[in-house]
Chain A
Amino acid sequence: LAKTTQPISMDSYEGQEVNITCSHNNIATNDYITWYQQFPSQGPRFIIQGYKTKVTNEVASLFIPADRKSSTLSLPRVSLSDTAVYYCLVGERVNTDKLIFGTGTRLQVFP
């Protein structure tokens, strides 16, 4: 399982775009990159998953460079409700393999 490194915390203001970068230098060829969001006293919630280049859904975008050694989660126009911890995970079969959570990034959005 590839280890991931993320900033411990980030601050932002409402309406701004937030980019959280995750390093995964030892990512394997078959590994996918998955991001989860967790609010206090709740289970993590799946945000987005990708393998390479760019993936976009209704809540976020995921940018993955060609070497795949890092990835960036982009949250457009954050609101107060986006205050949460964001986890980046890497694994071949994210659906059935065990996930090892790193420290995550604690995002605080201010009004």
Chain B
Amino acid sequence: GAVVSQHPSRVICKSGTSVKIECRSLDFQATTMFWYRQFPKQSLMLMATSNEGSKATYEQGVEKDKFLINHASLTLSTLTVTSAHPEDSSFYICSASTRTTDTQYFGPGTRLTVL
């Protein structure tokens, strides 16, 4: 149980384009989803917290107009990187949880490469 998926697993795009990453909780309803970013050999950095049906809360320094987060249902959250640039290349990971789970469950991650 408690499986979280992400799609796509890797994506390569040209600079200036937008990319959407999906995060799904497969066997539970996630009232809260989190988005993290991880650069090579570094730890995970929290980008934003999203609760179903409400606007995401972004961490300091994360541009909300660049990283659009939508949590429209209890099983799906999306992260859209708008006008991507090479410095946005990173490993993006989501996690999902609900009040009845004991912890957050993480997705497998999405490797974004912006050329």
Interface of A with B (CB < 8 Å)?
Answer: 34, 36, 41-46, 49, 87, 94-96, 98-104
Number of interface residues of B (CB under 8 A): 29
Identify the stretch in B70-78, B79-87, B100-108 within 8 Å (CB) of chain A at 4 or more residues. Answer: B100-108
Does B25 make an interface contact (CB < 8 A)? no
Smallest CB–CB gap between A36 and chain B, Å? Answer: 8
In-complex Cβ contact of A96 among B44, B46, B97, B111 (8 A) = B97
| Cα of A36 to Cα of B36 in the assembled complex, Å | 15
| Cα of A101 to Cα of B36 in the assembled complex, Å | 10
In-complex Cβ contact of B44 among A44, A45, A49 (8 A) = A44
Does B93 make an interface contact (CB < 8 A)? yes
- List 4 A-B pairs, minimum CB-CB distance, nearest first: A43-B106, A101-B44, A95-B97, A101-B43
A94 and B103 contact, CB distance less than 8 A: yes
Q: B36-77, CB under 8 A of A: which get 1 and which 0?
A: 100000011110010000000001000000000000000000
In the complex with contacts A49-B102, A104-B43, A99-B108 CB distance below 8 A: no
Closest to B100 in A: A95
| Cα of A99 to Cα of B93 in the assembled complex, Å | 13
Within 8 A of A (CB), among B7-50: 31-32, 34, 36, 43-46, 49
B43 and A102 contact, CB distance less than 8 A: yes
Contacts of B106 in A (CB 8 A): 36, 43-45
In-complex Cβ contact of B104 among A41, A99, A100 (8 A) = A99
A99 and B43 contact, CB distance less than 8 A: no
Closest to A106 in B: B41
Contacts of A42 in B (CB 8 A): 108-109
Smallest CB–CB gap between A106 and chain B, Å? Answer: 9
| Cα of A43 to Cα of B59 in the assembled complex, Å | 20
Contacts of B6 in A (CB 8 A): 43
| Cα of A34 to Cα of B95 in the assembled complex, Å | 15
A95 and B43 contact, CB distance less than 8 A: no
Given contacts A95-B32, A95-B104, 13 further A-B contacts (CB under 8 A): A41-B91, A41-B109, A41-B111, A43-B93, A43-B94, A43-B95, A44-B93, A45-B106, A87-B43, A95-B101, A95-B102, A98-B46, A101-B44
